[in-house]
Amino acid sequence: MNKHRVITTFILLTLTMAIHESSVRSQEVINIPIVFHVMETTGSSNQSDVNVVSTYKLYEQIHIINKAFNGGFKSDKTDQIKHEFDFHSDYTLKFHIAGCKFGGRNGVVSKVSQFTDCQIQNLTDPSLGGSLPWDIDSFINVYIVDLENCGLSGFSTTCPNANSDSSIIVVDYRYIGNNDIIGFTKGFTLIHELGHYLGLKHPWGADFSNCSEDDDVEDTPYQSNAYYGCPSFPQYSCNSMDYYFTFMDYVDDICMEFFTPDQFHRMIETITNKYPNLLNGPSDCNLDYSRYSFCESINIYPNPNIYEYLSIDFLIEPISADEIFLTNTIGEEITFEITFINDNKARISLMNLAKGMYFISFKGRCTKSFFNY
């Protein structure tokens, strides 16, 4: 039997009662902390480009996620079907980097990993260079890694049919934030995987099934197959219009627009029933970049440093090479080579730098120290 494509008053009342019975209060803002594990992969085919995800890019991704989970990116297609949906919700999901302390990189873990054969344990096993997930009951762990050899842009170990004891999300670093990957430029890959993590299936269900299975969400019609690229509107299968424009299909980012109300409610129910500790997350996280001072907005890592380069992130304003000075403990200025990855990230070569403590200053307004091994 085909599902109703119009949300009835009965369904809305039933969902609202279920969520209230699950202890989520009306008008409540649910703060969800994300831990980003930025994994530099040894033996990568793109070794010169790996681990170039700046803290600025991570905050940009958080902003994109929050937009998607609180109204989405509506267009003319939404206007044509808006009579079917009430996009108002009494609940708000607000994602943030765990800790929200930029200077200390709380909630951002940088590691060198042996993730070369697409095995999850290589990401999460510290003995293999992996990063142990933070408590999965209280945090969402997102691993950013080079997935080119895996043929994937991202995946969630909690999506249907995934086999893993650890609930994590993995995304290729090229797909984080606004990027230059054709078809996926808007940073929606992580949104899609968050949907899986929070209990959503693809519109066609667990497998392509010619209309015999679906996603168990009331307001999304049955759909026979996935859509790719950017199809013209509307599209039909299974005797109904397909909602290929939700975040849970495979279309290009520019054609993804929103979660339906029932998809959103399903995610709230998943949080309530599977990850109840997420309901008690901190509420004092402000992603307004202007609250950071100039010096707080600059991050140097790893520190202490054991590699041949030092990475620098600039969150608030870009800095040119002639505004950066490196000195030793007796004040002697040291020449260095610097490579700018983008306007918000640079790397300083430390190949010929002796072991010891050093100071790096920016625009004469901020000085930070690091130890080089």
Task: Indicate whether 18 pLDDT > 80.
Answer: no
pTM over cut 0.85: no
Mean pLDDT of 152-173: 73
Domain 289-372 has CATH 2.60.40.10: yes
Architecture of domain 9-280: 3-Layer(aba) Sandwich (3.40)
Chain segment 242-285, per-residue pLDDT in tens: 999 999 999 999 999 999 989 999 999 999 888 888 876 554 44
Structure confidence at residue 14 (pLDDT): 36
Tell me which of 193, 218, 308, 323 is the catalytic residue.
193
Q: Is 84 a catalytic residue?
A: no
Chain segment 39-59, per-residue pLDDT in tens: 876 544 444 444 457 777 888
Chain segment 178-207, per-residue pLDDT in tens: 887 888 988 999 999 999 999 999 999 877
Mean pLDDT of 223-245: 92
Domain-by-domain residue ranges, the chain? 9-280, 289-372
Q: How far apart are CA 38 and CA 162, in angstroms?
A: 22
